[in-house]
């Protein structure tokens, strides 16, 4: 069978460190075209994929008949126009998160997708990671019983300088924490009902962004999911995802790729460990998210991290951002 042919728009860090190295490890996908207005970005990408066509403008990539899938990895405020143009050009779209910077943009993307007969997957990659998929599989097998609580703790360095520090991203909750809200929604398996959030900027005063927060999402099935984020902890950085059920507790340690299970009955834990990504990082789902999209394109498997799911994630993220920035603390998600 011929490989599925990708065209990548936006050749910055997520393309160069994440997508391209992982796509090159998938034999059934070929990167045939790339595009970025920045010449040095194009040169860096061509070192990884010397045989691809490399365009300075997006129209040329869209008009390239060899491109089946457009992978959009540009700054957030370009996602809407570029995704809509790709659907109109008859391409499938793999869209980096977030799905636009507000609900209006998200809905415009979804409308263009629905009017096409093409597929859309959004790059919330964490739930594609082997670590998280195994966690989910153990939960589905009944290991911890009914999920009751989710606690995600992240301690790390501030967001990178550049466009992330502008007001154009949709905010920290959308730009970064949407990865975590996607996990929450996926693990809670129910619609979110309320978001309770507090946070602010106490330390990273050279940045306008929230640098710490505590967000709790309450779901209609009474699952409660809490995010504790701190962006002033460069050393000893940590990302752990704890899921607690009525029979036990699973803890995913993202940095060292370890999953630990504590039963409520047995004192000894059980443990599993996983391989890191191609670049050795714990950004773990880049390869598997594209393998998953490939199955959807080839075999009609349901898209994991679909547009409508990404919209639900966006609703939680925007409510959390609002609760913190307006000081309202509680936001209802009933539409």
Ligand X SMILES: NC(=O)c1ccc[n+]([C@@H]2O[C@H](COP(=O)([O-])OP(=O)(O)OC[C@H]3O[C@@H](n4cnc5c(N)ncnc54)[C@H](O)[C@@H]3O)[C@@H](O)[C@H]2O)c1
Cβ neighbours, 10 Å, residue 312 = 17
Q: How many CB atoms lie within 10 A of CB 319?
A: 24
| Among 5-13, 142-150, 202-210, 270-278, the segment contacting ligand X (CB under 6 A) | 5-13
Q: Which residue is nearest to ligand X (CB)?
A: 12
Instruction: Candidates 8-16, 26-34, 242-250, 315-323: pick the segment binding ligand X (CB under 6 A).
Output: 8-16
The span of 30-38, 112-120, 183-191, 270-278 binding ligand X (CB under 6 A) equals 30-38
Binding flags for ligand X, 280-299, as an x/- string (CB under 6 A): ---x----------------
Q: How far apart are the first and last CA of the chain?
A: 45
Smallest separation, CB 251 to ligand X (Å): 21
Is residue 10 part of the contact set for ligand X (CB under 6 A)? Answer: yes
What is the nearest approach in angstroms of ligand X to the Cβ of residue 142? 31
Based on the shown chain and the rule CB under 6 A, indicate whether residue 246 belongs to the binding site for ligand X: no
Closest CA to 237 of 158, 180, 155: 155
Q: Name the residue with tokens 């913190």.
A: 324
Alpha helices by DSSP H, listed for 218-332, are 286-299, 307-325
**CB under 6 A: which stretch of 34-42, 218-226, 251-259, 262-270 binds ligand X?**
34-42
Based on the shown chain and the rule CB under 6 A, indicate whether residue 9 belongs to the binding site for ligand X: yes
Which of positions 49-68 make contact with ligand X (CB under 6 A)?
58
Q: Assess 41 for contact with ligand X (CB under 6 A).
A: yes
**Applying CB under 6 A, which of residues 175, 182, 211, 309 lies at the interface with ligand X?**
175
Distance CA 333, CA 216 (A): 13
The stretch near ligand X (CB under 6 A) out of 71-79, 111-119, 228-236, 304-312 is 71-79
Q: Cβ closer to ligand X: 101 or 213?
A: 101
Tokens describing residue 105: 């943009």
Least gap, CB of 38 to ligand X (angstroms): 4
Q: Are strands 270-273 and 248-253 parallel, antiparallel or unpaired?
A: unpaired
Nearest alpha-carbon partner for 33 in 84, 89, 111, 106: 89
Is residue 96 close enough to count as binding ligand X by CB under 6 A? yes
The CA distance from 160 to 165, in Å, is 7
Q: Please say whether the beta carbons of 265 and 271 come within 8 A.
A: no
**What is the smallest separation between the CB atom of 289 and ligand X, expressed in angstroms?**
8
One residue of 4, 8, 14, 316 binding ligand X per CB under 6 A: 14
State yes or no: residue 13 binds ligand X (CB under 6 A).
yes
Whether omega before 304 lies within 30 degrees of 0, making that bond cis, reads no
Distance CA 154, CA 241 (A): 9
Closer residue to ligand X, CB minimum distance, 37 or 208: 37
By CB under 6 A, is residue 74 in contact with ligand X? yes
Q: Name the minimum Å distance from CB 114 to ligand X.
A: 22
Specify the pairing of strand 330-332 against strand 192-200: antiparallel
Specify whether the CB–CB gap between 228 and 152 falls below 8 A. yes
Task: Kindly report the length of the chain.
Answer: 335
Closest of 114, 53, 39, 47 to residue 83, by C-alpha: 114
- The Cβ of residue 302 has, within 10 Å, a number of other Cβ atoms equal to 8
By CB under 6 A, is residue 11 in contact with ligand X? Answer: yes
Please tell me the count of residues contacting ligand X according to CB under 6 A: 26
- Contacts with ligand X, residue ranges (CB under 6 A): 9-15, 35-38, 41, 58, 73-76, 78, 96-97, 123, 125, 162-163, 175, 283
């Amino acid at each position: 069978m011929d490989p599925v042919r990708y065209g990548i728009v936006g050749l910055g860090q997520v393309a160069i460190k994440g997508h391209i190295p992982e796509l090159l490890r998938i034999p059934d996908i070929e990167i045939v075209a790339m595009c970025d207005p920045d010449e040095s970005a194009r040169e860096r990408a061509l070192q990884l994929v010397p045989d691809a066509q490399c365009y300075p403008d997006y129209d040329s990539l869209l008009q390239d008949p060899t491109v089946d899938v457009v992978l959009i990895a540009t700054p957030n405020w370009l996602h809407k126009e570029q995704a809509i143009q790709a659907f109109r050009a008859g391409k499938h779209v793999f869209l980096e998160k977030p799905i636009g910077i507000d609900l209006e943009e998200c809905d415009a993307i979804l409308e263009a997708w629905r009017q096409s007969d093409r597929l859309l997957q959004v790059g919330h990659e964490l739930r594609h990671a082997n670590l998280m998929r195994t966690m989910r599989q153990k939960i589905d097998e009944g290991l911890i019983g009914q999920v009751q609580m989710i606690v995600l703790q992240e301690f790390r360095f501030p967001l990178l300088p550049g466009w992330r520090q502008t007001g154009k991203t949709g905010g920290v909750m959308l730009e970064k924490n949407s990865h975590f809200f996607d996990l929450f929604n996926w693990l809670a398996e129910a619609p979110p009902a309320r978001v309770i959030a507090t946070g602010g900027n106490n330390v990273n005063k050279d940045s306008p962004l929230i640098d710490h927060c505590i967000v709790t999402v309450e779901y209609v099935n009474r699952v409660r999911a809490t995010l504790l984020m701190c962006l002033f902890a460069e050393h000893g950085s940590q990302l752990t995802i704890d899921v607690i059920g009525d029979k036990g507790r699973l803890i995913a340690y993202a940095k060292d790729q370890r999953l630990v299970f504590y039963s409520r009955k047995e004192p000894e834990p059980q443990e599993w460990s996983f391989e890191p990504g191609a670049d050795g990082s714990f950004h773990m789902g880049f390869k598997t998210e594209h393998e998953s999209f490939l199955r959807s394109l080839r075999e009609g498997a349901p898209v994991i991290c679909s547009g409508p799911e990404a919209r639900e994630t966006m609703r939680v993220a925007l409510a959390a951002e609002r609760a913190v920035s307006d000081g309202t603390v509680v936001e209802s998600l009933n539409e």
